[in-house]
Structures are given as C-alpha cells and as structure tokens.
Amino acid sequence: MSSRFFPARYENLVPYVYGEQPQNGGFIKLNTNESPFPPSPAVYEALSKGEVDNLRLYPSPESSRLLPLLSRELGVPENMLFAGNGSDEILALVFMAFFMDEKAVSYPDITYAFYPVYTSLYLQKAHVIPLKDDFSFDVDAAIAADSAVVVANPNAPTGIALPISEIARLAEALPDRLIVVDEAYCGFGAETAIPLLSSHDNILVVQTMSKARSLAGARLGYAVGSPQLIADLKAIKYSFNSYTVNRLTERVAVAALEDKAYYETNCATIRQNRAYTVEKLQKLGFRVLPSEANFVFATSPDISGKELYLGLKEKKILVRWFDKPRIRDYVRITIGTEEQMNALLKETAALIGKGE
Ligand SMILES: *Cc1c(COP(=O)(O)O)cnc(C)c1O
C-alpha cells in the first residue's frame, strides 16, 4: 500500500517486473538476454589500482573519454551522441524530454515491457499497435496512429527485425513525430538505423553495451541523434543527475569498445549458436520466430509455455515466460554457449517426451 504522500497521478503506475535474477547461482540463465561470455580481457586490465584511486573524483559528466571512441566506431560526430546509465535510463529520459506533453505514444502490443511502464509514469496514454499475425511490426498502423513511436529493432521478445527501409518510411510519413529506435540487440544481425540520421532528424537510435558487449552489470547505454535532440536530452539529464555514468563504467566501456575483435567474435558465436538452437528446436517440433537477436521466441504444440518454463526451471534452466495474451504459449530463450544450449535442448526434449 502507498503512503499518503504518494500522489494520485501514480494510481495507475505499473512498475517493470524484471526477469528472475537468482543470486545464488546453480542456474543456466537463459532468461534475461545477458551474454554468456565475460567482458573483454581488456576490461580486466582496465580496472587498475589507479582507477580505484580515482574513485575519490567525480566522473566526467560528458563521458569525455568514451564519446570520441563511440564517435569513431559509429561514424557520427560527438555532438550526436549521449551516454547514460543503461539504455533504460536513456529511454526514461527520452520519455521525460519529449513525450510528457504528447497525447499518446505508439508501440506494439508485444514489445519491451518498459515502454508501458514509462508511459504510465510520464504520460498515461499509448496507442498500442497490435503486431501483425506473423508478429512483425505494423508500420501502416503506426503511421495511422499519428503519434511518436517507440520501436525495438529487433523487437523483444520476438527477435523479429524491421528493415531500415521501413523505419525510413515511418519517419517520412510522420516527419513531426519522434521515432525512437531501440537497438538493444545490435550486433546480432539486424541493420542499424544510424545511416538514416543524416537525412531524418526525427529519428533517435538507442543502443546498449549490456548485451553484445557483455556489460549488463556496468550499465552503459547511448543515444544517437541530431545535435538538437542530443542537446535536449542533456538539458533534461543536467536537470536531474549530472553523473549518470560512473567512472568505472566509463573506463570499462572504453576498454570494451577498443577490443572490436572480441566483440565481433562473440557476436558471430551467438549467431552460430542461434542457428544451431533454431534447427534443433524445429526438429523437436517447435515453431521458432525468425530472430536477429541473442534470443529466440519459440512455441511447441506438445507443451504449454508455462509448463515448459516451469519444467526447465525444475532442471535449473531459466527461460522467460510471459503470461500475456498472444504469447502465453511461447518461451523466450537467450542464446548462450553451445554447452548451455545442449543442456536446454536435452531437457526440453525430455519434457515433451522426445528425449532419448
Ligand atoms: C535489454 C533491453 C534494454 C535495456 O538495456 P540496458 O542498457 O541494460 O538498460 C532496452 N531495450 C530493450 C528492447 C532490451 O531488450
């Protein structure tokens, strides 16, 4: 129950329910799309005694070591970049900066669960755009809704990606609406919308180091957009908290970004393990949506999503199950190492009576 100090405007606030994070180990964790690989070896080296000594100092409020590197990596000038405490924080700042006075914001019925949470926190109303029958994003419906759009690309939990020509079509049809493209899963196969930024000033791309760069625990996300959009985000950030990216996080993000080879190898391994997992799940009779992410969304005619989730949990394997219309029969499985995937496949086969 709330205190009597909590205002009525939060009556309908529905906080995000995060995936289970068991702290006692023993689980094969395929439920929150983390990387199965540790951060780059360069990250270990970066955490020197000198860096610890420096913790007495405030971090750079502008992440001035990181942004020049990101600028080179992404091929955009620094004034088009904004770093934050994970992309979740950046998305919250985006809602605060741009959507509070909007009548509504559009996003799909099945997408990242934080969008409805930010909506309930900041503006109350959304146009919930049903995904098409094949679970792809309905661009025409989003155009018809004529509001700002938040779209995860690839989408979560489906893994389905939209070609950037479709993002361009959306941005061109709604030139006075902001189109936020959440690319949390960049690196695993989908095209980035960053090349559209030079010709479309109403697109803002958000990426993260949590997934493909194995830094979920460090919390580092960034936005890429027009210098004006970035200036607006900074105005909101500096009205809230100047030091959102701490010293150690900036340091490890720099190290991770410098080790491009490690990143590319890990992304390639995940794509390979994904193809392997999809093939094996299909052999077990599953329908698997086409994924460009580090997870797959799958359903079996032989077992309900809930039974599969609970059955795997009993075997110490965590996957994500959403008790929601349209997707109740699916589970979302993070792609891990080949060994982890083999454990998942073996227990799954046993649960549906197809084990050896
Ligand atoms: C994981 C995820 C995020 C959150 O990323 P952080 O940078 O760890 O906050 C944002 N959007 C989507 C779609 C995600 O799946």
Tens-place pLDDT, residues 27-77? 999 999 999 999 999 999 999 999 999 999 999 999 999 999 999 999 999
State in Å: Cα 348 to ligand 1 middle. Answer: 27
Nearest one of 129, 141, 193, 195 to 167, comparing CA atoms: 193
Would you give the distance in Å from CA 200 to the centre of its chain?
A: 23
Strands 317-318 and 28-29, by their bridges, are: parallel
Q: How far is CA 349 from CA 111, 190, 283, 315, 356, in A?
A: 28, 30, 10, 12, 8
pLDDT given at position 248: 97
d(CA 63, CA 86): 13
Q: What is the C-alpha to C-alpha distance for residues 194 and 204, in angstroms, rounded to an integer?
A: 8
pLDDT of res. 188: 98
What is the rounded CA–CA span in Å between residue 253 and residue 117? 28
Q: What is the pLDDT of residue 22?
A: 81
Ligand 1 centre to CA of 112 (Å) is 8
Distance 184 CA to ligand 1 centre (A): 5
Q: Which of 34, 211, 213, 222 to mutate to test the pocket of ligand 1 (most atoms within 8 A of CB)?
A: 211
Q: Is residue 24 over pLDDT 80?
A: no
The whole-number average pLDDT for the span 299-307 is 97
Contact 203, 179 (CB under 8 A): yes
Q: Mean pLDDT over all residues of the chain?
A: 96
How far are the Cα atoms of 65, 88, 212, 216, 295 from residue 29, in angstroms, in the given order? 33, 21, 16, 14, 12
Spatial separation of the C-alpha atoms in residues 302 and 333, rounded to whole Å: 17
| Model confidence at 287: pLDDT above 90 | yes
Closest-lying ligand 1 atom to the alpha carbon of residue 220: 7
**Closest residue CA from atom 12 of ligand 1:** 184
Instruction: For residue 246, give the nearest of 53, 7, 60 by alpha carbon.
Output: 60
Dihedral angle computed from the Cα positions of residues 134, 140, 144 and 149, in that order, rounded to the nearest 10 degrees: 80
Q: And the tokens for 107?
A: 């996003």
Q: Separation of 156 CA from ligand 1 center, angstroms?
A: 9
Q: Give residue 18's pLDDT.
A: 81
* Most ligand 1 atoms within 8 A of CB, residue of 31, 204, 210 to mutate: 210
pLDDT at 15 over 80: yes
Q: How far is residue 291's CA from residue 295's CA, in Å, rounded to a whole number?
A: 7
244 and 308 Cβ atoms separated by less than 8 Å: no
Q: What pTM, to 2 d.p., does this model score? A: 0.97
Average pLDDT for 147-161? 98
Q: What is the mean pLDDT of residues 133-159?
A: 98
Residue 186 has pLDDT above 80, yes or no: yes
User: Is pLDDT above 80 for 101?
Assistant: yes
What's the CA angle centered on 222, arms 13 and 336, to 5 degrees?
A: 85
